[in-house]
Structure 1
Amino acid sequence: MTIDVVPDGDRMNVRVCGELDHGGRPLERGLDEALDNSASGIDLDLSAVGFCDCSGLNLLLGLRRKALDQGKTVIIGVSGPPVDRLLELTGARELFVHPGSAAGSAEPDAVGDSPKAPEAVDHELRKEVAELRRAMQTRPSIDLARGILMASFNLSPEVAWTVLVTASQNTNTKLHRLAQDLVGTVQGTPLPEDVQQQLAAAVAQARAAVPLA
């Protein structure tokens, strides 16, 4: 990860090259320094960013919050596909445009709804990013559990996922917790009898809904 900072009047033009992920601490320091050295904020060129995940988005949201506290702005002038996808997925693009522009103005969520202020959108996005990060952390055990169901009951990936979700709902157990318990059976830790029964029922229900070839 490298950054190139060029002063431009009262702002700083910052070009970022590399990956925006959980290893972005050095980048965060560089961006903070560029923000501190600017009079009104920084303009980001993220066209050379080859990868961006939720940690990278969280870094950008944190930078925006620091800028707001200083009465400055952070603008994403140009970005490549990896950043574009995440901005569009989370609806965060409007937080990094020039104030007063069409994309940056508060817009109604739906017909009849009141417009949301940027601060409210920012808060919601931070919650969404936190939830996405938790999902990324629990995904490996969920994938393993699905693989166990596929191997144990000769299920397709889609049916195994349906079984896992159904059993989670019927046992009132968090999906990642049920997945961890299921993975634990490989080491000999048995599932509670009621969970076993619900898994069996979910398998039967899923097979009936989607007959296997």
Structure 2
Amino acid sequence: MPEPAQSAQTCLVTIDVVPDGDRMNVRVCGELDHGGRQLERGLTEALDGSASGIDLDLSAIGFCDCSGLNLLLGLRRKALDEGKTITIASSGPPVDRLLELTGARELFARPGSDDAGSTGPDAAGDGLNAPEAVDQELRKEVAELRRAMQTRPAIDLARGILMASFSLSPELAWTVLVTASQNTNTKLHVLAQDLVGTVQGTPLPEQVQQQLAAAVAQARAAVPLA
């Protein structure tokens, strides 16, 4: 067994880098999330030390979120700028789920593999090759996922408040929140934050109160009688 050429560590993740010809084999263990600055530095050093790129073994990753995916996308972009490639040679369920959910797998496929997809100039229908077009769309999706993760706690709390205040099921509380958001032309996470603020004594605007009451009545009316 060859000894790792270098190792970088944070409190949640470690990487082992082994040279393999003009490439670097990189095994990442731990959690791939927002706390990955040192990991990013280690991966960048591995990329800089390679002639053609790095092959990632992510099979030992126990957790991966959109921040981790964004880190990989940034590394891929740097590699492309240098005429190199980043491939994911193997991955476990946490990484697989995120790759499948976002459609990112083909961006890290080995050239010529079944996952690599078409790379013709018209494959995306807009003059860009398919991986580049997917890359752009994926970055937008990652940004939306990150925003959703940041606002989710307030939305969950708001649902809980509606459930407790009006004796609603989780599903009906969600329906009320969405309906009131649409009827007041208020973003869902903003309305949720306003609802959470009522716990501290901040009243809702009268129009919002009226629309919430109407949404509750509408949701209850839609439930069939037992």
TM-score over 0.5 for the pair: yes
Give matches, 1:117-128, under 5 Å.
117-128=130-141
Match of 2:55 in 1: 43
Alpha-carbon RMSD across the aligned residues, in angstroms, is: 1.7
CA 1:81–1:105: 2 relative to 1, 3 Å: same
Whether the 8 Å CA contact 1:99–1:105 is kept in 2: the answer is no
Supply the AA of the counterpart residue of 1:183.
V
Aligned residues: 210
Counterpart residue number, 1:17: 29
1:100-130 per-residue CA deviation (whole Å, 9 max, x = no partner) reads 322112389xxxx848521111010011000
Equivalence map 1:77-156=2 (5 Å): 77-106=89-118, 114=125, 117-156=130-169
Output one character per residue of 1:168-213: Cα deviation in whole Å (capped at 9) or x when no partner.
0000000000001111111111111111110011001111112476
Q: Secondary structure at the match of 1:75?
A: strand
**Alpha-carbon distance in structure 2 between the residues aligned to 1:107 and 1:167:** 45
Letter in 1 for 2:199: V
Q: Report SS of the residue matched to 1:6.
A: strand
Written as runs of structure 1 = structure 2, the 5 A alignment for 1:184-195 is 184-195=197-208
CA distance in 1, matches of 2:108, 2:225: 48
Q: Give the partner amino acid of 1:208.
A: A
Cα deviation, 1:55-106, whole Å, max 9, x if unaligned, reads 0000000010000000000000000000000000000000001123221123
Contact kept in structure 2, 1:74 and 1:96, CA below 8 Å: yes
* Paired residues of 2:119 and 2:131 also in contact (CA < 8 A): no
Q: Percent identity?
A: 86
Q: Following the alignment from structure 1 to structure 2, what is the Cα–Cα distance between the partners of residues 208 and 122?
A: 45
Distance in 2 (CA, whole Å) between partners of 1:210 and 1:90 is 35
Contact 1:11 / 1:38 at 8 angstroms: preserved in 2? yes
Q: 1:5 aligns with which of 8, 17, 37?
A: 17
Where does residue 5 of structure 2 map in the other structure? none
* Aligned mates of 1:35, 1:212 — CA distance in 2: 63
Greater relative contact order (CA < 8 Å, ≥ 6 in sequence): 1
The alignment's TM-score, normalised by the length of structure 1, stands at 0.94
What corresponds to 1:165 in structure 2? 178
> Relative to structure 2, which stretch is displaced further, 203-212 or 155-164?
203-212
Gap regions ≥5 residues in structure 2: 1-12
Segments of 4+ moved more than 3 angstroms: 113-116
Contact 2:15–2:27 under 8 Å retained in 1: yes
Q: Which amino acid aligns with 2:16?
A: D
Distance of 2:224 and 2:183 partners within structure 1 = 22
Does the 8 Å CA contact 1:24/1:56 hold for their aligned counterparts?
A: yes
Deviations 1:142-167 (A, max 9, x none): 01100000000000001000000000
What TM-score, normalized to structure 2? 0.89
SS of the equivalent of 2:114 reads coil
Equivalent in 198, 209, 212 of residue 222 of structure 2: 209
